[in-house]
Amino acid sequence: MAHIGYGDKVRKAVFPVAGMGSRFLPATKASPKEMMAVVDKPLIQYAVEEAIDAGITEMIFITGRTKRSIADHFDKAYELEHQLELHGKTDLLAIAQNIVPKGISCTYIRQTETLGLGHAVATASHLIGNEPFAVILADDLISSKKGALCQMVDIYEQYNSAVIAVQKIDGAAISAYGVISGVKQRDRIYQLDSIVEKPPYADAPSDLGVTGRYIFTPKIFAHLAALKPGAGGEYQLTDAIQALLTDEQVLAFEYEGIRYDCGSKLGLLKANIELGLRHHEIGDELRTYLKNELLAKL
């Protein structure tokens, strides 16, 4: 019998980046929202760094129209490197050369139609095979001492079961999320009873909203293959997780860290300000500007 690799290490991560990013039009008309920068780094690079920090070595990007710049970003840039070298800009050269460290591979698959997040993840099934894998949504930027995915890998290795990231969401905003109900197992960990995509506020089963980090066993693929269009007419990952509950335990985990919803304009601006304040080059100047100049204008 084939080895069921559930106890194996999580080595692969899927990055669905094929969405329309319509909330950022016109910025996203010809370039992907995942390439938008927080201070000086695109969202997708934060996500890849978080994956590397969690021990992931194979990055699988589900791309679509207008996403070529993501592949370019993780590719070698000979001309740029040559120019930086020529001008003795060694610090910048090191940045350009270390975007993908040695031993990390990147693969790109096209999702030819943007039929939803569930459909996007299913597109990676033949590259995952029979082992656990992570899914990371780059527009949820999580700032934490220990990476959010690294925290989740610890939980996966301890319980040997699927883990999805959740966060407490105040008030009516919960209706923009996948929402779980579950039984608390211990501090920050819940055993899932059910999960529903974007419920009306009055029907939300809890205040725990799903954020963009998941670890799955390959059992999810059978449920993704059987999906029918759900909320918003899209093939919803949430519906596949609900179906997965008939097969195996799924845990919800309240990670430690601050999440910025960079899929929204306000979230992206907040991330730029807060990470800017912590940035070694511009932090002090930004603080002075915000205190002395900007506050006076408000």
> Under the rule (CB under 6 A), what is the footprint of ligand UTP?
16-23, 62, 111, 114-117, 119-120, 137, 139, 263
In the complex, least distance from residue 34 CB atom to ligand UTP, rounded to whole angstroms: 7
Name the closest residue to ligand UTP (Cβ). Answer: 19
Question: By C-beta, is 138 or 286 nearer to ligand UTP?
Answer: 138
In the complex, least distance from residue 120 CB atom to ligand UTP, rounded to whole angstroms: 4
Question: By C-beta, is 135 or 192 nearer to ligand UTP?
Answer: 135
In the complex, least distance from residue 64 CB atom to ligand UTP, rounded to whole angstroms: 7
Question: By C-beta, is 119 or 213 nearer to ligand UTP?
Answer: 119
Question: By C-beta, is 21 or 132 nearer to ligand UTP?
Answer: 21
In the complex, least distance from residue 32 CB atom to ligand UTP, rounded to whole angstroms: 8
In the complex, least distance from residue 216 CB atom to ligand UTP, rounded to whole angstroms: 15
Q: Using CA atoms, how far apart are residues 210 and 126, in angstroms rounded to an integer?
A: 26
